Structure 1
Amino acid sequence: MLFSLWTFVYIAAAVQAGLLGLALWRRAANREANRLLAVWVGLTAIDLAVKAMFWHLLTPEWFRAYRFVALFPFLYGSLFYLYVRALTQGRAFRPRDAVHLAGFVVMLALNSYVLTMDEAGLRAMAARWLAGERTIGAWFDLPLFLYSLSYVVAALVLVRAYRQRLRQRRSDADRLSLRWINAMAGFQIAIWCLAIVQALFYLPVLNYGLLFGLIATWVCVVGWFSLGQPPVQDEPASAQTVAVDTSDEDSAPIDSSRYAEVEARLAQLMASDTPLYLEPALTIGQVARRSGYPEYLVSAVINRRLGGSFWDYVNRLRVEAVRERLGDPAETRTILDLAYACGFTSKSTFNAAFKRQVGETPSGYRRRLAAAAGSTA
Structure 2
Amino acid sequence: MKTDLNIVLVVLMLFLLTVFTILLFHKGRKNYSNIILACYFVSQIIGISDTLFVYGLSVGNGMPIIFYPIIFTWVPLFYFYVVSLFETDFRFSWKHTFHFIPFVIVLSYTVANFYIKDYDIRSQLIESHEIYNQLFYYFGMAFNTQVIFYNLAALVQYRKYLKRIKDEYSEIDHVGNNWLKTCLFGFVIACFIVQFGIYSQRFHVFISVDWFLAGNGAFFIFFNILFYKAIISPNILHRSQIKEKYKHSLLSTSDARKILLLLEQCMDEKHPFTDSSLSLKSLSKMTDVSERNLSQVINEHRKQNFFDFVNSYRVKYAMRLLKDKNSSRRTMMDIMYDAGFNSKSTFNNAFKKHSGSTPTDFKKMNS
In structure 2, relative to structure 1, the CA distance for the partners of 1:355 and 1:16 (3 Å cut) is farther
Paired with 1:93 and 1:72, the residues of 2 have a C-alpha distance of 22
1:28, distance to aligned residue in structure 2 (A): 4.9
Q: Percent identity?
A: 19
Task: Work out whether 1:278 is the aligned partner of 2:274.
Answer: yes
Among 56, 77, 80, the residue aligned to 2:78:
80
Paired with 1:276 and 1:214, the residues of 2 have a C-alpha distance of 49
Paired with 1:59 and 1:368, the residues of 2 have a C-alpha distance of 75
CA contact under 8 A between 2:322 and 2:363: conserved in structure 1? no
In structure 2, relative to structure 1, the CA distance for the partners of 1:26 and 1:142 (3 Å cut) is same
CA contact under 8 A between 2:25 and 2:34: conserved in structure 1? yes
The residue type paired with residue 264 of structure 1 is L
In structure 2, relative to structure 1, the CA distance for the partners of 1:196 and 1:44 (3 Å cut) is closer
Match of 2:203 in 1: 202
In structure 2, relative to structure 1, the CA distance for the partners of 1:3 and 1:157 (3 Å cut) is closer
Query: Structure 2-normalised TM-score?
Result: 0.79
Match of 1:233 in 2: 238
In structure 2, relative to structure 1, the CA distance for the partners of 1:191 and 1:344 (3 Å cut) is same
1:30, distance to aligned residue in structure 2 (A): 8.7
Paired with 1:51 and 1:150, the residues of 2 have a C-alpha distance of 24
RMSD over aligned CA atoms reads 3.8
The residue type paired with residue 186 of structure 1 is F
Match of 1:162 in 2: 161
Match of 2:14 in 1: 14
In structure 2, relative to structure 1, the CA distance for the partners of 1:135 and 1:104 (3 Å cut) is closer
CA contact under 8 A between 1:277 and 1:342: conserved in structure 2? yes
Please show how residues 49-60 of structure 1 align to structure 2 within 5 Å: 49-57=49-57
Paired with 1:12 and 1:44, the residues of 2 have a C-alpha distance of 13
Paired with 1:300 and 1:265, the residues of 2 have a C-alpha distance of 14
Paired with 1:174 and 1:314, the residues of 2 have a C-alpha distance of 15
Match of 2:142 in 1: 143
Match of 2:68 in 1: 70
Unmatched 5+ stretches in structure 2: none
Among 292, 298, 301, the residue aligned to 2:294:
298
In structure 2, relative to structure 1, the CA distance for the partners of 1:295 and 1:219 (3 Å cut) is same
Match of 2:307 in 1: 311
Please show how residues 213-224 of structure 1 align to structure 2 within 5 Å: 213-224=214-225
Match of 1:320 in 2: 316
Residue by residue, what CA displacement relative to the aligned partner does 1:249-305 show, whole Å, maximum 9, x if unpaired?
Answer: 47xxx8334554333222101011x32223333333443454455545433432243
In structure 2, relative to structure 1, the CA distance for the partners of 1:157 and 1:340 (3 Å cut) is same
Paired with 1:269 and 1:72, the residues of 2 have a C-alpha distance of 57
CA contact under 8 A between 1:168 and 1:241: conserved in structure 2? no
CA contact under 8 A between 1:316 and 1:357: conserved in structure 2? yes
1:110, distance to aligned residue in structure 2 (A): 3.0
In structure 2, relative to structure 1, the CA distance for the partners of 1:248 and 1:6 (3 Å cut) is closer
In structure 2, relative to structure 1, the CA distance for the partners of 1:330 and 1:50 (3 Å cut) is same
Unmatched 5+ stretches in structure 1: none
Match of 2:129 in 1: 129
Paired with 1:287 and 1:133, the residues of 2 have a C-alpha distance of 60
Indicate the SS of the match to 2:166. helix
CA contact under 8 A between 1:21 and 1:38: conserved in structure 2? yes
Among 351, 356, 366, the residue aligned to 1:354:
351
Tell me which moved more, 151-160 or 112-121: 112-121
Paired with 2:351 and 2:234, the residues of 1 have a C-alpha distance of 27
Indicate the SS of the match to 1:354. helix
Indicate the SS of the match to 1:169. coil
The residue type paired with residue 316 of structure 1 is S
The residue type paired with residue 262 of structure 2 is R
Paired with 2:63 and 2:208, the residues of 1 have a C-alpha distance of 21
Indicate the SS of the match to 2:55. helix
Task: Work out whether 1:31 is the aligned partner of 2:31.
Answer: yes
In structure 2, relative to structure 1, the CA distance for the partners of 1:57 and 1:296 (3 Å cut) is closer
The residue type paired with residue 68 of structure 2 is A
In structure 2, relative to structure 1, the CA distance for the partners of 1:25 and 1:249 (3 Å cut) is closer
Indicate the SS of the match to 1:155. helix
Paired with 1:57 and 1:31, the residues of 2 have a C-alpha distance of 37
In structure 2, relative to structure 1, the CA distance for the partners of 1:308 and 1:160 (3 Å cut) is same
Residue by residue, what CA displacement relative to the aligned partner does 1:342-375 show, whole Å, maximum 9, x if unpaired?
Answer: 333544433432343345554x358737xx64xx
CA contact under 8 A between 2:298 and 2:309: conserved in structure 1? yes
1:186, distance to aligned residue in structure 2 (A): 1.4
Paired with 2:173 and 2:252, the residues of 1 have a C-alpha distance of 31
Please show how residues 333-372 of structure 1 align to structure 2 within 5 Å: 334-362=331-359, 364-365=360-361, 368=364
Indicate the SS of the match to 1:111. helix
The residue type paired with residue 268 of structure 1 is Q
In structure 2, relative to structure 1, the CA distance for the partners of 1:230 and 1:330 (3 Å cut) is farther
* Aligned positions, number: 358
In structure 2, relative to structure 1, the CA distance for the partners of 1:147 and 1:50 (3 Å cut) is closer
Paired with 2:106 and 2:132, the residues of 1 have a C-alpha distance of 21
